[in-house]
Structure 1
Amino acid sequence: MPNGSRNFHHKSHKGCKRCKTRRVKCNKQAPVCANCRRRNEDCEYEIPPPNPAAITVFALPAAQLGDITSFISVSFLSNVIVGCVPASRPERALWCAAFGEALAGCQYLQHTMLSIHTLHVGPRLSKDAFSEATNLAHHHHIMASNAFTHMAPVVNEQNWLAVFIFGISVIIFRFATQQYCPDHLFDYLEMLQVLRISSNIARSVSSYLFRSEMWPFIRDRASLQLICQSDDIGMQQAIENLEGIVSNYRPRSENRRKATPAAFEAFKTWVITCHGYPSVWRHYIDWPATIQTEFLNDIREEEDVPLLLLIYWCAIMYRGPRRWFMEVWLRRTATVVVKKLDGDWNQALVWPLETLQIIHQ
C-alpha cells in the first residue's frame, strides 16, 4: 500500500466492543484503549460463554497449539485468575491484556488453560463426551506439569504472572477433577496438600503481584463484606461452640496434642481475615498452609474433632461466591467426612451442614 494511504477495516477480534462496532483497529491497551480514551468513552471487552465445540481441538500436540485464544476467549481465561468476587470492568480489562501476553509462547500455560477449559465445558456434555473431556483435561494437565517442571522457572518480572496463573490452575484442576471422580478416587487430604504446596508459589510471586496494576483491585475485593449480620451471628456462635469441643479434645497420640488446637486458632484467624466470606485466592490457601502435618495425620486417622474442623472449613468456604470447580467438592467432602464420625455430634453439625445445604439424617 502506498505511503500516506489510510488503512480501513482493521477490526480486531480481541479488541474492545466499541472498536469492533466501529470496525477500527483496537490497540487493546487496558483498561482503556487509545480510541476510547480519545473519545472519552467506556472501554469494555467482550466476555463470550465457553464454546463446547472447542473440545474437539483440545487434543492438539504441543507443537500445534499456536494461539489458543483463537478458540478460547482471553476474557474467559482471565476469569480463572480474577478470584471469586466479580471484578470491575477496569480490572477485567487489565487481566485480559496481561493474560494474553503471558500466554504467548508459554506452552505450560497454554496446556494448563486447555485443561481447565475442558473441565469447565465437560459437565455440559453427554456422559461419554464428559469422560473423554476428563481424559483430555488430564492429558493437558500432565503436559503442563511436565513442561513447568522441565523449565523450573526462576520467578522474575517477566514470568511471575505465568507462574502465578499456573499455581492457581493446579488448584482449580484438583478441585474440579475431584468433584465428579469415582468414590474410590476421592481424596480430600490430597486437596489440602495441594493447597499447602500452592502457598509456596504464592510466596514466590507475592512481591510482584503487590507491585502490579491489578493489586489495588484485588485488595479492594478482598475487603468486601457481602454477608448479612444475622448469618455472622450464627457463624460466630457455632465457632464458639466448636472451641469448647476443641479444648476438651484429647488425641490418641500425645505428640499430636497441640496440633488440633493450633489448627483451630489458625482457623479463627482465617475467618476474621476473610470476614467469613472467602473471596480471593489467598483465602483459599491460608488455612491449609498453616496447619501442621500432625493435624493432617489426625484427619487421615479419622479423629472426630479434626474432622469436625474440616467440615467447618468447608462450610466457611461455601459461604463465599459460587465457583464451578469447587462448590460440589465442598459438599462432597463434608458428606463423606460426616459418615466417618464416631461420636454424637448432631448439635455441632447443625450450622455447618445447614450452611452447606446438606440434609443430615
Structure 2
Amino acid sequence: MPRKNKGVRRCHVKSRNGCVQCKRRRVKCDVKQPACSSCLRRNESCEYPDMFGNGYYQAVQAPWPDYISSRPANILHPTSTTEFELLQKLKSGIVPPGPNTRLRNDYTGLRVVSTGVIRLVMDRASITPDEVSLWSSSMASVCREKDYIMHIVMSLACGLQDVLSRPDKMVGELAYEHNIKASALFRERNELIDANNWLPPIMFHVLTVVFRFYSQAFCRKEDFGLVDTMRLFRSGSTIMKATTPYVKQSSFWSFIVERTALDKKLNTETEAFLHQSLRSIESALDLTDANPFSTEEQRYESRINRQALTGLYAWVEHCDAMPRCWPHYCGWPTFVPMGFLELLEQKNEVALLLVIHWCGVMYRSTKPGVKAWAYRAGHYSLEEIHHPELWREALEWPLKMLLPLW
C-alpha cells in the first residue's frame, strides 16, 4: 500500500522576489500585492525587501494628518520662473486621473511631464542644461517602451506637484498608486540588463529613490521608514553594479564625470571635526570589547556596528564628504551588514549615531529632495536616542551640520 504524502512539504521553485516572511519560512511566495496569500492566511504583516513593499500600500490607506509640518520648506519651494511654469503645467491636466489610464498613446503629454519632472529634480542641483536635456529626452523615449517607466514618471510628477503645492507637503494617493503600479510591473518584467536594455532599469531605480526621498521627507512620523529606505538603497545597488559598464560607454558618462569631479570638499578643519566625532563612537565600541563583563549580545552588536563604522569611513572618503551622484547617495547602506538594519529596528543607539552622521554628510548634497530627507532622517534618529547627554562629543558634528539652516 503506497505511503501517503501527508505532512511532507513539497519542493518548490524559489522566488527571489518573495516577501521577507516566506523567505524566512523557506516556502514559496506568490508575490501578491499588497500582501501574499501565505501572510494573509497566517494573519501576518507582509513585507517585500525589494523595490517598495507594502509600506506604500499602508501609506495610501492611512488618513492624512491634521497638522501642518513646522519644518521650513525653503529647500523645496520653487524659486525660478521656469519652475513655476513647469509646476503649472503639471497642474494643468497632463497628469492622468489614475494608474489604470492608458498612458502609452499620450506621448506628447508624457514628454512634457518627463521633461518637467527632470527639470524640477535637477534644477539648482549642479546639473547642466545639456545633461537635463539628455535625461529628459531619453526618459520620454523610454516611456513609450516600458510601462513601469511611464508609471514611475507619473508617480514622481504627481508627488512633486503635491510637495510643491500642498500646505502639508504630503505626497497624495495618486502618486502612491502610480508608484505601486510601477513597482509591481517592474517585478513582473524581471528585466535582463544588457547592452540593449540597461537604461530603463537604472532610470527606474533612480526615480524610485527620488520618489522615496520626497515622500518620506514630509510623511507622518509613524509612516517614516528609515530601515525600509536603506533596504531600497541596498536592493538598488544590484542594478547600479550591473548597469555601470554600459553607463561608462554612454553619452551620459562625460556629464557624470564632470559633475562628480567638482572641487567641493570639506575644509581640513571641518573634516577633522567629522573624523573626531566618528572616533568617539569607535572609542565607545573599544570599551565594550575591552569590558570583561560585556555579554555575548553586546559583543555581537559591537562587531556589527564596527563593520558599519568601517563602511562609513570608506564612504566618506569615497564621496569626499560631499555626495553628488546616485552611487554616493546609495553607497553607505550597501557597505553595512544586514545585522545592522536589525540593530536599527531595535533602536540601538550606536547604530542610530552612525545613521545621524551619514545624514549629516547627505545633507551637504545640492539636491533639494536629498537634503529634505537627510534632515528628516537625521532628526528622526536623534529623537530615538534617549540619553543624548552620554553622546555629547559624538553628536557635536552632526548637530552642527543639521541645525544651522533651520
Tell me the TM-score normalized by structure 2. 0.69
Deviation per CA, 1:284-316, whole angstroms, max 9, x where unpaired? Answer: 111101100111122221121111111000000
Query: How much has 1:242 moved relative to structure 2?
Result: 3.5
- Say whether the 8 Å CA contact 1:81–1:165 is kept in structure 2: no
Deviation per CA, 1:291-346, whole angstroms, max 9, x where unpaired? Answer: 0011112222112111111100000000121323x323222222222222244212
SS in 1 for 2:330: helix
Task: Specify whether residues 83 and 281 from structure 1 end up closer, same or farther in structure 2 by C-alpha distance, changes over 3 A only.
Answer: farther
Please identify, of 75-84 and 97-106, the stretch whose mean Cα deviation from structure 2 is larger.
75-84
Identity %: 22
Match of residue 55 from structure 2:
none
Q: Write the mapping of 1:192-231 to structure 2, written as runs, cut at 5 A.
A: 192-227=230-265, 229=267, 230-231=269-270
Q: Write the mapping of 1:125-274 to structure 2, written as runs, cut at 5 A.
A: 125-127=165-167, 134-227=172-265, 229=267, 230-249=269-288, 252-274=297-319
Task: Specify whether residues 102 and 84 from structure 1 end up closer, same or farther in structure 2 by C-alpha distance, changes over 3 A only.
Answer: farther
Task: Specify whether residues 57 and 76 from structure 1 end up closer, same or farther in structure 2 by C-alpha distance, changes over 3 A only.
Answer: closer
| Corresponding residue to 2:135 among 95, 98, 121 | 95
1:320 and 2:365 aligned: yes
Separation (CA, whole Å) in 1 of partners of 2:240 and 2:404: 32
Tell me the TM-score normalized by structure 1. 0.77
| Corresponding residue to 2:86 among 49, 59, 82 | 49
Query: How much has 1:158 moved relative to structure 2?
Result: 3.0
SS in 2 for 1:334: helix
Separation (CA, whole Å) in 2 of partners of 1:127 and 1:70: 27
| Corresponding residue to 1:296 among 315, 329, 341 | 341
| Corresponding residue to 1:119 among 159, 167, 170 | 159
Query: How much has 1:52 moved relative to structure 2?
Result: 4.2
Which amino acid is 1:238 matched to? S
CA RMSD of superposed structures (Å): 2.8
Task: Specify whether residues 273 and 79 from structure 1 end up closer, same or farther in structure 2 by C-alpha distance, changes over 3 A only.
Answer: farther
Task: Specify whether residues 74 and 183 from structure 1 end up closer, same or farther in structure 2 by C-alpha distance, changes over 3 A only.
Answer: closer
Query: How much has 1:273 moved relative to structure 2?
Result: 0.8
Question: Which structure 1 residue ranges, 5 or more long, are not aligned?
Answer: 1-45
Stretches of 4+ aligned residues off by more than 6 angstroms: 80-84
Match of residue 32 from structure 1:
none
Match of residue 11 from structure 1:
none
Separation (CA, whole Å) in 2 of partners of 1:241 and 1:217: 38
- Say whether the 8 Å CA contact 2:266–2:322 is kept in structure 1: no
Separation (CA, whole Å) in 2 of partners of 1:239 and 1:106: 44
SS in 2 for 1:104: helix
Task: Specify whether residues 246 and 211 from structure 1 end up closer, same or farther in structure 2 by C-alpha distance, changes over 3 A only.
Answer: farther
Please identify, of 236-245 and 315-324, the stretch whose mean Cα deviation from structure 2 is larger.
236-245
Deviation per CA, 1:95-126, whole angstroms, max 9, x where unpaired? Answer: 23322322223211011011011111112334
Question: Which structure 2 residue ranges, 5 or more long, are not aligned?
Answer: 1-81, 290-294
Query: How much has 1:56 moved relative to structure 2?
Result: 6.8
Which amino acid is 1:217 matched to? F
Separation (CA, whole Å) in 1 of partners of 2:124 and 2:236: 17
- Say whether the 8 Å CA contact 1:84–1:320 is kept in structure 2: no
Separation (CA, whole Å) in 2 of partners of 1:292 and 1:80: 35
Please identify, of 76-85 and 100-109, the stretch whose mean Cα deviation from structure 2 is larger.
76-85
User: How many pairs does the alignment contain?
Assistant: 312
Separation (CA, whole Å) in 2 of partners of 1:112 and 1:171: 11
Match of residue 374 from structure 2:
330
| Corresponding residue to 2:401 among 346, 355, 361 | 355
Task: Specify whether residues 257 and 345 from structure 1 end up closer, same or farther in structure 2 by C-alpha distance, changes over 3 A only.
Answer: closer
Separation (CA, whole Å) in 2 of partners of 1:287 and 1:298: 16
